[in-house]
Structure 1
């Protein structure tokens, strides 16, 4: 299944994409796709639901992030060896983890708004993992039992904030609008090989990133297992699994986003995003 949320900000509704690619409105069955949805066995309820009779959304609508009220947004740094190299950093012996502010989450086609003084904002296409039930000290072998599904994420980064202002990476990762998610969550049964998906991003029509999740240093099952040793993963939590090479930081000379740019990105089986770049006006 492909679960989708749609509607204007603060008025989003849950839906599903049917076999004809149409959005079906499920708001009469479910309040939203959030922690409570997963805890109440919502995925199984949708599977049993004859949603072919649910209303079709024919008019153009804003596509929202596929999950509401994300509890934790956990990111994995340097998880592609070639991206670590272009960043001038060593491939880590263990996953590098950091948090991204949940207030950075926006819809897949919402505008990306650069901070007023941003000079080094960068793109990062990533595979997102959505947790479906509490995972605490789980084994790598059992890890996929805790995954509800997958989605596309653009993990934007302000490199000055991230790398030149001391402390942890969260300063450069948590800016408002720096985490477009969606357009939908594909349930785990639809993504047979999460570690073998084409992943790409272009800026102004020029391909910048063009890779495959099979070059990840640490696989999805290992990451779920690993992170669960340090914190419990709750339903609706999101793990962003790292980016392939081709970010602006790694180019010679470096290239960064500017007002008026357009990003387009996608992952095999998980749809596409398009974002216009704006600058915050004080």
Structure 2
């Protein structure tokens, strides 16, 4: 089941993608108190959503909607750095594989939905791409055991963890600045529910820029798999419904080329995860977008 958040006629809503259309759930179908996908997950509406998906017909054309990140305003977006095995080797610093994951936050305003422009800020010429798989939490929890972690996954989405490379080096111990420029990354096009996946250890993530493949790897090569990430992160913070965990990017980001290949205005970036779909965005200079 594909669940999507969108804007139509100036109003936000959410729904189920089916047969090229969307079953709009913002019309009280789940009760007057549920007006977003995050609220639906928190209320444990998965069974009701599956029932509606079987019985209802689309009432909106998907192509006519402005797609938002599946969870437009999560409480937390936690990103994992250097998680594919070859990424640690890519740094060429002679360090052994890490014992624990590196994590940092993103803020909701740093991500746009499928089809929206990625903004290259005027402060830097080093906007880069990072194709990733994002976990969306359904059932909340704290100190979640590895064996129970899969029960807390609502579904998965594609994520472009756009990064302003020179700004990640401003701080001695953090990368937060370069990871949080407004509209520098994206998520979507939708959330695919957990019941559509037969495990999470053989998922593929592919990134293309203007049709050229730049990244490709599978979750079989993760140093810290999904269940451990949920366990580790939930040890120190309560994971809430709708929280997002972005699970890391493969080798092949633009900064690693010689010379580096940073994104330019007009570039089209696609992040594909078979079983989820393709997240696509075109880069625009922020000043141009302000006057569009």
TM-score computed with the length of structure 2 as normaliser: 0.90
Residue of structure 2 in register with 1:97 after alignment:
103
Map 1:29-178 to 2 at 5 A.
29-30=29-30, 31-34=35-38, 36-49=39-52, 52-58=55-61, 60-88=64-92, 90=95, 91-178=97-184
* 1:165–1:222 CA distance, 2 compared to 1 (3 A): closer
Equivalent residues, number: 280
Partner of 2:186: 180
Range 155-164 or range 54-63, more displaced: 54-63
Identify the range of structure 1 (150-159 vs 171-180) with the bigger mean alpha-carbon deviation.
171-180
Could you list the per-position Cα deviations for residues 204-234 of structure 1 after superposition, in whole angstroms to 9, with x for gaps in the alignment?
Answer: 1211011112111110001101111111101
Query: What is the CA RMSD across the aligned residues, in angstroms?
Result: 1.8
Structure 1, 52-61 or 267-276: larger mean CA deviation: 52-61
Distance 1:9 1:110, change over 3 A: farther
Tell me, in whole angstroms, the C-alpha distance in 2 between the residues paired with 1:247 and 1:222: 25
Range with bigger deviation, 208-217 or 157-166: 157-166
Is the contact made by 2:163 and 2:185 (CA closer than 8 Å) also made in structure 1?
no
CA contact (8 A) 1:101 1:170 kept: no
- Stretches of structure 1 that go unaligned for 5 or more consecutive residues are none
Q: 1:178 to 1:141 in 2, by over 3 A?
A: same
Q: Following TM superposition, by how much is the alpha carbon of 1:10 offset from its aligned partner in structure 2, in angstroms?
A: 6.1
TM-score normalised per structure 1: 0.93
Offset, 1:8: 4.8
Choose the corresponding residue for 2:229, options 219, 223, 226.
223
Task: Determine if contact 1:75/1:241 at 8 Å carries over to the other structure.
Answer: yes
User: Quick check: which one's helix share is greater?
Assistant: 2
SS of residue matched to 1:49: helix
* Matched position secondary structure for 1:200: strand
Q: Deviations over 1:148-202 (max 9, x none)?
A: 1111100011110002444411101011112311111111111222221121011
